[in-house]
Amino acid sequence: MGSWHNAFRRPPVTRTITRRLVLLLPTLLGLSLVTFVLLRLIPGDPARIMLGEHATAEEIAHFRADAGLDRPLLVQYLHYVTSLARGDWGHSIQTNLPVLSELAQRLPATVELSLGALAIACGLGIPAGVQAACRRNSPADLFVSGGSLVGVSMPLFWLGLLLSYLFGYRLGWLPPSGRLTIGTPLGGQIPPGELAAGLAAAGNFISNFYVLNSILTANFTALADVLRHLILPALTLSMVPLAVITRMTRACLLDVLAQDYVRTARAKGLPERAVLFGHAMKNALPPILTVIGLQLGSLFSGAILTETVFSWPGMGQLIVDRVLARDYPAVQGVVLVVALLFILINLATDVCVAYLNPRIRYG
């Protein structure tokens, strides 16, 4: 009896979290090294790009010395790592602003876009997958399966341009680009003198979440404008996760509906709704949740094309601009933040799945 109890007890989630957090440091360190080396392999000199073709050799040498680009690569990397350990992510070569301040301005836009896309994907994908599984081989199932295949294969940049042209320019129903209409008062910025510097910085970071800012300040005019700007890019970005979540929901639910305990529940006379949501969906949910977590991590790292098409001022557009400018510190900062978010999201997903399914054990 004791062995049976031990086999189905809750997994050691605390140990799992601790081990993942311990492995986080070497993972980020290795990623920083790979990013550092690959950026230096890209053709182009940041000094030449920033100063232009007519810059003299003395101006370029002075710029490289100020930015530390004239040092050996090993020295540059060691200086970068030691600065990271002190919490200094460096300054942008292009703007000379702290990388952390630029990330704090751009990260909220990407988070809102990714969460909006995930909300659309889950809100449409899970019900569609459930309907397809409950009506297997029906016209509805064939329509959902075909639509999910099209969604996986859809080029996002083409879809974004199509939606922007149709609903933004031709019909004029939604804004074709941007995050907020120029001149719309948003509010919520915290004056630095009212709070300590750290709290003021945190407040200003939160205020860059336009949806949250509008809700907290009860500015419903700005909220409506922000949501109108969010619809098209979020819909574009949601296409791939929508198709993946739909297919996974259908496959997992079909597998569960074929189990003996589901047939037993039906034989006992339980209503179909109780069988579906009380027994089948509960056991199909862990793999679906795993896919949702993976898709959320992919959204943070895969919003580059969508943000570029819709001029969305997020991390994706930032990394495109800074790669073209060979802005090494900014690109390295974006890569580390995205990697950190991806790892933490996967960790949170594993913990949630472990609690939903006690049979899963993480050593």
Quick one: 9-26+104-184+223-356 is in which CATH superfamily? MetI-like (1.10.3720.10)
Find the mean pLDDT for residues 221-232. 92
216, 188 Cβ separation under 8 angstroms? yes
Q: Pick 121 or 300 by higher pLDDT.
A: 121
Sign of the Cα torsion 283, 286, 287, 288 reads positive
Flag whether pLDDT at 143 surpasses 60: yes
Q: Which of 5-14, 113-122, 340-349 has the lowest mean pLDDT?
A: 5-14
Q: Is 218 left (phi over 0), alpha (psi -120 to 50) or beta?
A: left
Residue type, 359: R
Residue 114, pLDDT score: 93
Residue 128, pLDDT score: 92
Flag whether pLDDT at 327 surpasses 80: yes
Q: What is the dihedral of CA 41, 43, 47, 48, to 10 degrees?
A: 170
Flag whether pLDDT at 22 surpasses 90: no
Flag whether pLDDT at 142 surpasses 50: yes
Q: What is the C-alpha to C-alpha distance for residues 303 and 315, in angstroms, rounded to an integer?
A: 8
Flag whether pLDDT at 65 surpasses 50: yes
| Tokens (6 digits) for 58 | 């003395």
Q: Find all residues with CB under 8 Å of 253, minimum gap 6, and list them.
A: 129, 130, 133, 134, 280, 281, 284
Task: Work out the mean pLDDT of the chain and round it to a whole number.
Answer: 83
Residue 247, pLDDT score: 92
For the chain, percent of residues with pLDDT exceeding 90: 20
Q: Is 357 left (phi over 0), alpha (psi -120 to 50) or beta?
A: beta
Find the mean pLDDT for residues 226-254. 92
Query: Three-state DSSP class for 98?
Result: strand
66, 345 Cβ separation under 8 angstroms? no
Flag whether pLDDT at 115 surpasses 90: yes
What pLDDT digit, counting tens, does each position of 258-285 carry? 888 888 887 887 787 887 887 788 888 8
Every domain of the chain and the residues it spans:
9-26+104-184+223-356
Flag whether pLDDT at 362 surpasses 70: no
What pLDDT digit, counting tens, does each position of 78-107 carry? 989 998 888 888 888 888 888 988 898 899
What pLDDT digit, counting tens, does each position of 27-62 carry? 888 988 999 988 888 887 788 787 777 778 888 888
Identify the helix (H) or strand (E) that includes residue 164: none
* Phi/psi at 180 (5° precision): -160, 140
| Tokens (6 digits) for 307 | 């943000």
Kindly write down the DSSP assignment for every residue of 200-239, as one continuous string.
HHHHHHHHT-HHHHHHHTT-HHHHHHHHHHHHHHHHHHTH
| Tokens (6 digits) for 189 | 């910025």
